[in-house]
Structure 1
Amino acid sequence: MKCQIISVDGRSSREQLEQDATGISRLLSLRGLSSDSRVILKSANSYLFIAALFGLCHHAVSLVVVDPQIGLDELLHIHGETEADLLITDIDPQLPGLETILLSELADSLSVTRRMEIQSPQETLSLDAWCARRDALILYSSGTTGKPKGIVKSGQLFMDNIVHSIRAMGYQSSDCMLPVVPYSHFYGISLIFSWWLTACSLIVCNPQNLRSVITNITRERATIVDANPSAYYTMLRMLARKPRQLEALQNAPVRMWCVGGSPLTRDLEEKFDALFHKPLLNGYGLSELGNVTLGTVGNPHGCGAPLPGIEVRVLDNQGNPLPDQEIGEVWIQTPGCMEGYLDRPDLTAAAIINGWFRTGDMGFTDNGNLHVVGRTGKTVNRMGYLVSPAYIESRISLLGCRSCVIALEDELKGSLLITFVEDEAVLTLAELRREMNQILPTYMYPDLLIPLPGFPLNRNGKVDRLELEQLAITKTTERSVRKSAETLV
């Protein structure tokens, strides 16, 4: 298959993309932007995002990529913290003091240049100078566990990690990649660079429009699909009502269905395999570290084995290494580790200890493969026992149910456990309660078991635990009021 980008704007060759990227770099030079500059790129998935991304890398600026859904206050905070010289975006925030160029303006200028057949010196897209920067890429955490942090990445270490990932996954120039993830997050941006280095084809899609995604998989004959678990859950629900689309997708030439961004639960894994007779290839990585482990066609177990040069440890609460199959906190040592959190040496020192990065994720190892079950969150006191909500969720997933456990402080028990389950579960609530009695000790049994038609998602496509925590507080309060009223009666 010829290397091309397929988007709502049409089809563009790799050569056209590189011409547009170097053209954007020249336009920025005319506006006085130097290679010493720092630029914020904020846009939804599009061909122009990719062209601007590579244009800025060719220009060798320090590149700050942010989620297009962030609010104006957060954008201003990032602008002030990074001291960026320019914002390139698809929607003008109309903020005074923030120099802005719209992607549409760049597109118009490139179009005029083509129509007038203005000849410019032949220029080859090069990322060498950008790779030499220690602050080549700055990504911002989602803020789901606190205030968003700027993660500073070395260009060369970032690219080295992408090269190792390509080799591990076995991407080929004949592939057609379809990432169902925002390009502004590490998962998405790593796939964009993987596409460029592999010189295969790329389908640009809107991750929010899964109907269009399904159509593109079959029509454009995608061979590699990447999405987060929530997207796959939604896709399976849609296909359950569309047998013809399901059959078309089952016969599509996809050779690798890949998943990442949050833990893969057992029920999703089994449902997908039953329908497509192919595994979901799970991967694990963080913005701070890059890709860490990758499940592959040859090794589809858990999140796969570590990439070259990366070491994984699973430790208990006292920092002691745990043997295979025992769940603890995941620590990573990798040459691809971030330079640090932007202007936060205190946070950097707390996260990187003796060269090891504390991920805050719970998991276990098994025959060289990493399995991640969820965030550590707060290990809570429950009736005198230390309990991990992530562990409870992993146990419930064995019953074919997707769950989210929220712990709330309680004077009597130490913690209340509020467990949300998606109501598409194969078991009724009564059956689920009985089964949970068999796999969970009494002190882990939920105080409230609440069905939901679907979990709320944050802008990263992950389960929004903050929203569920508010719902847990509301439901717990309602129960207390109801019990008080019954006592009075």
Structure 2
Amino acid sequence: MALRLPPSMAFVTHLLAVWRSGGQAILLDHRLTDYEVRRATERLVPQVVVSPARPVPAGLRTFVEVDADLASYSGHPAGTTHAVVQLSSGSTGPSKVIGRSAEDLVEEVLRYTRIDGVPQRGERLILLPSMVHVLGLVGGLLYGLHAGVELVPPARLTGDAIVQAIGSATTPATVLGVPFHIGLLASVQDPPRLPQFKRMTTGGELVPAAVSRSFEEKYGAPLGNMYGMTEVGVIGTDLYGEHRPAIRPAPGIEVRAVDGELQVRRPESPYLGLSDPTRWSDGWLHTRDAGVVDEKTGLVSIKGRLDSQVSVGGLKVDLTEVEYTLASLRGVEAAVVAFDGAITAYVQVSAPQTVSQLESDLAQLLAPYKRPRTLHLLDQLPRTTTGKLVRDLTTLRKAVS
């Protein structure tokens, strides 16, 4: 059964009902276009598709009320025993089809219970990511149900509404989100004192130290990092911000670095309809992320995507370093740095900026061969439905044009 529902009680009840009946749930983000849904159903051939009976109101609500409509589809029974099938974020290209078993989901929920700093029974989790995706699904919904943690979606996806949700009760509150949500909280002018604000934890992308310091100064709460993938769930965390930019592998997770690539032990390939030894082989998932593992401490440092290492005039440049440097500049909210024959930067600015200003600032921080040849300034960088920055060059070029 395919669920094309927004975060709602309808989504939760249909998901649990599918699992209780022994079925397989295919999760489709309700924000996908009809064309994208049609392509997904052609690939996944479900027997039933559950959608909202009426259009979901546009707006910034994080949890909505919808009536579900069930439609038969000319599919067939599930060909695998996976409990859930999801699509990868698609931040770097076409989505991959990923299956996870019930045992794997239970294992991840129990993994969360062994991580120091996660919300405990009786506490609150201010849930910002969609439950359709792995962070909101397992780190939010399933962990919350298992651990007795109250899930509190804010009334709207705005900084003020998130602050209101934190302050709505006196019990300790953890905010779970992605880097995009940090910007929402940063936009709040003179937030009230929030002694119950325990921490904010973000997944999706690692957060620069400057952003973390600014957040902690404003709210008096630590900003924790979480590293994970749809294929695995949570891989490592630094919930207290003690090891930034490194993370510690989550309990039960084994990580190694081979030729500069991080790999995670997985007994089986999570990919459906894909046999690609560059993605999974011999019990190891190839993350396509560059990184190192400290043999003494076990800490993992993520250096960005493997394809972020490029050669400029015979000199190696780490595009992640350029990106982090850009993101640290005043007035810059986010940046994506790509290589298409030359280093090109796509920059989201929050205040009036000029290319010459940014180039002048970068000249103080980066060697000439590392600096972008071209800077594109945008009001908003394209993001996936999970809030990740899109790195696909075709999409980025369209955003500029």
Change (3 A) 1:167 1:174: same
User: What CA deviation, in whole Å up to 9, does each residue of 1:346-386 have, x standing for no partner?
Assistant: x3x32113222111223444543233343333543422334
Q: Residue 300 of structure 2 corresponds to which residue in structure 1?
A: 370
Given that 2:114 and 2:251 are in contact with CA atoms closer than 8 Å, whether structure 1 keeps it comes out as no
* 1:468 maps onto 2:396 in alignment: yes
Measured at CA, do residues 41 and 210 of structure 1 come closer, stay the same or move farther in structure 2, by a change above 3 Å?
farther
Aligned to 2:183: 233
Pairing partner for 1:343 from 273, 276, 279 = 273
Q: Choose from 134, 138, 144 the match for 2:85.
A: 138
Is this contact kept in 1: 2:255–2:264, CA < 8 A? yes
**Structure 1 residues 80-479: aligned runs within 5 Å:** 80-91=42-53, 104=67, 134-168=81-115, 169-190=117-138, 191-205=140-154, 208-221=157-170, 223-237=173-187, 239=188, 242-243=189-190, 246-247=191-192, 250-297=193-240, 299=242, 301-302=244-245, 304-315=247-258, 319=259, 328-334=260-266, 339-345=269-275, 347=276, 349-365=277-293, 367-377=297-307, 379-397=309-327, 402-408=334-340, 415-424=341-350, 432-466=358-392, 467-471=395-399
d(CA) in 2 for partners of 1:277, 1:165: 24
Residue 296 of structure 1: how far off its partner (Å): 2.7
- The alpha-carbon deviation at position 468 of structure 1 amounts to 2.6
Percent identity, aligned pairs only? 21
Choose 82-91 or 282-291, whichever is displaced more.
82-91
Name the SS for the 2:167 alignment partner. Answer: helix
> Shift of the alpha carbon at 1:60?
1.6
Equivalent of 2:22 in 60, 71, 79: 60
Q: Secondary structure at the match of 2:106?
A: helix
Computed over aligned residues only, the root mean square deviation of the Cα atoms, in angstroms, reads 3.0
TM-score by length of structure 1 reads 0.69
Does the C-alpha gap of structure 1 residues 300 and 198 become closer, same or farther in structure 2, counting only changes over 3 Å? farther
Structure 2 CA distance for aligned equivalents of residues 363 and 288 of structure 1: 18
SS at 2:119's partner residue?
A: coil
Mark the CA change 1:158 to 1:73 in structure 2 (over 3 Å): closer, same or farther.
same
Amino acid at match of 2:45: E
SS at match of 1:268: helix
Query: TM-score, with normalisation over the residues of structure 2?
Result: 0.82
How many Å separate the matches in 1 of 2:110 and 2:103? Answer: 11
Distance 2:215 2:141 in 1: 25
Shift of 1:146: 2.4
Q: Specify whether residues 223 and 364 from structure 1 end up closer, same or farther in structure 2 by C-alpha distance, changes over 3 A only.
A: same
Q: Distance in 1 between matches of 2:271 and 2:226?
A: 24
- The question of whether the paired residues in 2 share the 8 Å contact of 1:281 and 1:303 is answered with no
Cα distance in 1 for partners of 2:291, 2:216 equals 22
Give the C-alpha shift of residue 150 in structure 1. 1.1
* Offset of residue 281 of structure 1: 0.8
Cα contact 2:83–2:101 (8 A) shared by 1: yes
Structure 2 counterpart of 1:313, one-letter code: R
Structure 1 match to 2:58: none
* Counterpart-to-counterpart distance in 2, 1:426 and 1:272: 22
Cross-structure match for 2:35: 73
- Counting matched residue pairs gives 374
CA distance in structure 1 between the aligned counterparts of 2:129 and 2:354, rounded to whole angstroms: 32
- Separation (CA, whole Å) in 2 of partners of 1:231 and 1:376: 26
Unpaired runs of 5+ residues, structure 2, are 56-64, 71-79
SS at match of 1:76: helix
Contact kept? 2:212, 2:223, Cα under 8 Å: yes
How far the C-alpha of 1:80 sits from its partner, in A, is: 2.6
Per the TM alignment, residue 330 of structure 1 is displaced from its structure 2 partner at its CA by 2.2
CA pair 212-184 structure 1, distance change in 2 beyond 3 A: same
Alpha-carbon distance between aligned partners in 1 of 2:398 and 2:310, rounded to the nearest angstrom: 18
Q: Specify the code of the residue in structure 2 equivalent to 1:80.
A: E
